[in-house]
Amino acid sequence: MIEMKVMGIALDTRTGSPIVVLHDLDNRKALPIWIGSAEASAIIRKIEKLSVARPMTHDLIISIVQKTGYKIDRIEINDVEKETYYATIFMTKGEETIEIDSRPSDAIAVAMRAEAPIFVTANVLMNGSVSTDSARDEEESQEFKDFIQSIKPSDFEKLIDKHRESDQ
């Protein structure tokens, strides 16, 4: 699992659909997820710290969870199938954990209100993320290529000899 944060909301220029953009803590990977307008609005309200006179849906969910003695522990975006993402909200009460199936957009809006971490599986990141630090990725890739090219057959012999010595 990779912890991610909400970078912001963007609009798909082709369709006008909102996209929530998550990024890893190193700002190297971004995960765009297309969401509905209501969920985008809820996320924007939290990002902008806008308050409303009456509780909106995600505020109501947090209130219900808290009134029943639970707390939102974390959310996980754990699967993607044909451009449809799946998430789970984890609620805890003492030693008890309840898993709630959720759309990622709702789970993210709830996590933001509960100040709970957002995790994404490596599989989801591999299938949906984009690199946000191509210069750094390219630099690391070049360093690795240079390292591989600098290896000589004698280096392996030294390694084998060290391994033999440690076995004795």
Question: What is the structure's pLDDT at 5?
Answer: 95
Per-residue pLDDT reduced to its tens digit, 104-146: 999 999 999 999 999 999 989 887 656 555 555 566 555 545 5
Question: What is the structure's pLDDT at 154?
Answer: 54
Domain residues for the domain of 157 are 133-168
Q: Which of 18-22, 47-51, 74-78, 138-142 has the highest mean pLDDT?
A: 74-78
Average pLDDT for 29-45: 90
**Tally of structural domains, the chain:** 2
Question: What is the structure's pLDDT at 155?
Answer: 46
Q: Are residues 111 and 147 in the same domain?
A: no
- Looking only at the bridges linking them, the beta strands covering 29-34 and 71-81 are unpaired
DSSP codes, 100-143: EEE-HHHHHHHHHHHT--EEE-HHHHHHH-EES-HHHHHHHHHH
**CATH number assigned to the domain comprising residue 101:** 3.10.690.10
Q: Are residues 109 and 30 in the same domain?
A: yes
Q: pLDDT tier at 160 (50, 70, 90 boundaries)?
A: very low
Cα gap 121→98, rounded to integer Å: 19
